[in-house]
Structure 1
């Protein structure tokens, strides 16, 4: 009897290992993300940057059923800069966020998650009136995340995602540092995910 129990336990362990091996640790999501800028300006110039909706592609890797890493990427985005409500120019930014996530299991198979990580944004193609000559090219900041996946079938899921990204840039006028513009966008996303 003891030998039979040992054999059954060994077979169950092998079956569980095979089932786990069939589930890929890789996920890909495509989202439409709305950037809602905070626009806190310390320059006295009344600077603001417009809100907009951008595409986002995320690649995730599960280290375990609960712990994952996610890299969120997009393409360079053109933003409009205004001073006291009047347009004064544009710039492009390319943000990327790397998050560590913890995934829970909820009712009906839905999987809420929370994450924290770092955002890097590259700012380029600055074209602003001479009174505000330049912006910093690089911004590093924290990123926080809440989201949920709703399963559609074995591979596909519907995704809702909310991120807070800490993004700021120094503003230079006539070659001197005039202050800081904190954009710190809230990023609300909706999309689809696929797990291989």
Structure 2
């Protein structure tokens, strides 16, 4: 087998370098991506999928278990880029959830309560390809969850009488992964997934059973799809 020889002259090398130098700014301009001090606003539709269950309803029903159902909601988040690679994201959304009996007496009751959940979450993100049009990222941070407008269900009230419900706030960690895909220099699409550690304690002051408490492990996976804008 014969190989032809490649001869590189100084003139040819200079011409090649010249082409490369003139092409580089054009490529950088085409894929501006993100950079330090950019502010990114995203709007997503999210699916919140709780993954845990509860301990017993104490002291009356230690063998019972309760689960929290899925929810869908809009979400808004804001990311500030500290450097080209490092960003800090604040997530804000509120979702409505219902808790249902899964095991024991409460399984026969069905839905036991409704509550609204506000879980503001801050994550520190690492963006892998800040100058590209496709920019995956991972993140980790803290979550503080507030429960509000908690109410006993009609079926629980029918079973144990009028009931007052209170759910303690919860503090936990959050893990995140996602990707931004440019539509143009300002707008982009986003897909994002999070795991949020949420483990509150609910107190039920019932007429028939007195005060009962139950520790739950909601710990949802939150999947969002939406779009963003560089402000």
TM-score range, shorter chain: 0.7 to 0.9
Matching of residue 81 in structure 1 with residue 94 in structure 2: no
**1:130-189 Cα deviation digits (max 9, x unpaired):** 667534331111000000011111011110101000011113244656341000000011
| TM-score, reference length from structure 2 | 0.69
1:71-116 Cα offsets, whole Å, 9 max, x none, are: 0101x32211211351122111111110110001189621000000
Are the aligned partners of 1:24 and 1:195 in contact in 2 as well (CA < 8 Å)? Answer: no
Asked whether the equivalents of residues 37 and 82 of structure 2 are also in contact (C-alpha less than 8 Å), the reply is: no
Which of 18, 31, 43 is 2:44 aligned to?
A: 31
Which deviates more, 41-50 or 102-111?
102-111
Runs of 4+ in 1 over 4 A off after TM superposition: 130-133, 173-177
What is aligned with 1:61?
A: 80
Counterparts of 2:89 and 2:132, CA distance in 1: 24
Name structure 1 gaps, 5 residues minimum: 1-18
Structure 2 CA distance for partners of 1:23 and 1:100, relative to 1, 3 Å: closer
TM-score, normalization: structure 1?
0.80
Greater fraction strand: 1
Residues 135 and 169 of structure 1 are in contact (CA less than 8 Å); yes or no, is this contact kept in structure 2?
no
Q: Flag the structure with larger Rg.
A: 2
Does residue 90 in structure 1 map to residue 114 in structure 2? yes
SS, match of residue 216 in structure 2: strand
SS in 2 for 1:100: strand
Partner of 2:172: 141
Q: Distance in 2 between matches of 1:183 and 1:173?
A: 18
The answer for unaligned runs of 5 or more in structure 2 is 1-31, 57-62
Larger deviation: 37-46 or 131-140?
Answer: 131-140
Check the 8 A contact 1:68/1:102 in 2, yes or no. yes
SS of the aligned residue for 1:40 comes to coil
Matched positions, count:
175
1:6-51 Cα offsets, whole Å, 9 max, x none, are: xxxxxxxxxxxxx9xx986111000011011113211133211110
Tell me, yes or no, if the aligned pair for 2:99 and 2:112 is still in contact at 8 Å.
yes
CA RMSD of aligned residues (A): 2.4
Separation in 1, partners of 2:67, 2:53? 8
